[in-house]
């Protein structure tokens, strides 16, 4: 099978490595240009190590990008973590077209932050989709899907790196084989079940302590490791990463006001929300250092009675 890979970073590199490991021919690799001062893209570096053709175009709409793809005479295009828009005229150039990876069970959670949102909403299952890219964002026919659980205490990092990432690499190989053999079944997405969510970034990651503790906890784990859920302490940004949830069972369990630090220990500190407390196990203050909750509290002079988020 002769393929062209369009992608970037860790996932793009892993997909490249997987196809090369089984002796498929990689005709060329497309990746987005690095921003000024940024490190070399991991996919680009791996492609160069293998002596592969590497193309970096500011836009895949450009005539030069189309000519480059045509010149590869690839059987199939493989889109592995692509943030650039790829028009129909580009993805249809390979003989068998192109397939794309998306880390959700389409048509749910179309959009660029499709791993964060299911966790933040409290979903217990997610998955991945290999589909045919079209002009509509994440709207093309589905080739195959794989599902996985979201554990009640798993973080974004747990679900992506331990589940969706390795599953996604294998699914790309499986889908490519199906298409090359002409055995794929392509299913049109059901628009009645579709949803689109935009980027989950800093503004979306702000903690509102007046929300229920379940919502606050899901926000924290769905932001860990990036972009990092955050609040403020004395007007300074405080990011919260690893945490535990403690539900209030009785009125006597309510240890303070909303957003109030109720307890500080050697390992952590606890903050009140509606219906319980968040125990902060790892945090990062304005100095950029990630510390255990207890270390942060000592360094910041944090004690019971402090109010976060003001």
Could you tell me the two tokens for 271?
């903050």
Q: What is the DSSP letter of 10?
A: H
Specify the pLDDT at position 310: 75
- My answer on whether 161 and 243 are in the same domain is no
Ramachandran bin of 9, using left for φ above 0, alpha for ψ from -120 to 50, beta for the remaining angles: left
For residue 200, is it within any domain? no
- My answer on whether 99 and 166 are in the same domain is yes
- My answer on whether 221 and 163 are in the same domain is no
CA dist 102 and 104 (Å) reads 6
| pTM for the full predicted model | 0.94
Instruction: Quick: pLDDT tens for 126-177.
Output: 999 999 999 999 999 999 999 999 999 999 999 999 999 999 999 999 999 9
Which of 131, 133, 104, 101 lies closest to 120 in space, CA to CA? 104
Q: Quick check: helix, strand or coil at residue 30?
A: strand
- My answer on whether 189 and 219 are in the same domain is no
Q: Which helix (H) or strand (E) holds 247?
A: strand 243-247
- The pLDDT profile of the chain, 310 residues, written as one tens digit per residue, is 999 999 999 999 999 999 999 999 999 999 999 999 999 999 999 999 999 999 999 999 999 999 999 999 999 999 999 999 999 999 999 999 999 999 999 999 999 999 999 999 999 999 999 999 999 999 999 999 999 999 999 999 999 999 999 999 999 999 999 999 999 999 999 999 999 999 999 999 999 999 999 999 999 999 999 999 999 999 999 999 999 999 999 999 999 999 999 999 999 999 999 999 999 999 999 999 999 999 999 999 999 999 999 7
For residue 199, is it within any domain? no
Specify the pLDDT at position 89: 98
CB 43 within 8 A of CB 29: yes
- Which CATH number characterizes residue 246's domain? 3.10.25.10
Domain hosting residue 222, numbered range: 213-300
- My answer on whether 230 and 135 are in the same domain is no
Instruction: Give the Cβ contact number of residue 191 at 10 Å.
Output: 8
Domain count, the chain: 2
Domain boundary among 158, 193, 228: 193
For residue 208, is it within any domain? no
Please state, in angstroms and as integers, the Cα–Cα distance from residue 135 to each residue in 5, 128, 132, 263, 298, following that order.
Answer: 19, 20, 10, 52, 53
- My answer on whether 172 and 293 are in the same domain is no
- Which CATH number characterizes residue 152's domain? 3.40.50.170
- My answer on whether 62 and 100 are in the same domain is yes
- My answer on whether 229 and 161 are in the same domain is no
- My answer on whether 154 and 289 are in the same domain is no
- My answer on whether 140 and 246 are in the same domain is no
Specify the pLDDT at position 173: 98
For residue 310, is it within any domain? no
Domain boundary among 162, 193, 224: 193
């Amino acid at each position: 099978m002769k393929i062209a890979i369009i992608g970037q970073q860790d996932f793009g590199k892993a997909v490249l490595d997987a196809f090369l490991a089984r002796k498929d021919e990689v005709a060329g690799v497309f990746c987005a240009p690095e921003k000024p001062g940024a490190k070399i893209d991991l996919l680009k570096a791996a492609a160069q190590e293998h002596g592969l053709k590497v193309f970096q175009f500011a836009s895949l709409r450009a005539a030069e990008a189309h000519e480059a793809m045509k010149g590869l005479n690839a059987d199939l295009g493989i889109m592995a973590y692509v943030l650039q828009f790829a028009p129909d005229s580009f993805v249809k150039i390979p003989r068998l077209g192109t397939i794309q990876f998306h880390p959700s069970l389409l048509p749910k959670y179309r959009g660029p932050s499709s791993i964060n949102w299911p966790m933040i909403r409290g979903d217990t299952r997610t998955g991945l989709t290999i589909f045919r890219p079209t002009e509509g964002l994440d709207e093309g026919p589905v080739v195959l899907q794989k599902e996985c659980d979201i554990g009640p205490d798993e973080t974004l990092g747990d679900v992506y790196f331990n589940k969706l990432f390795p599953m996604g690499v294998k699914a790309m190989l499986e889908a490519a084989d199906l298409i090359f053999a002409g055995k794929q079944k392509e299913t049109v997405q059901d628009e009645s079940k579709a949803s689109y969510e935009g980027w989950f970034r800093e503004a979306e990651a702000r903690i509102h302590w007046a929300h229920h503790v379940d919502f606050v906890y899901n926000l924290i784990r769905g932001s860990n490791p990036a972009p990092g859920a955050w609040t403020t302490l004395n007007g300074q940004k405080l990011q919260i990463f690893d945490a535990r949830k403690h539900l209030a069972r009785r009125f006597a369990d309510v240890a303070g006001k909303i957003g109030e630090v109720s307890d500080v220990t050697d390992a952590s500190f606890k903050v009140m929300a509606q219906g319980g407390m968040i125990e902060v196990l790892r945090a990062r203050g304005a100095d950029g250092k990630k510390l255990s909750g207890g270390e942060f509290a000592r360094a910041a002079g944090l004690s019971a009675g402090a109010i976060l988020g003001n």
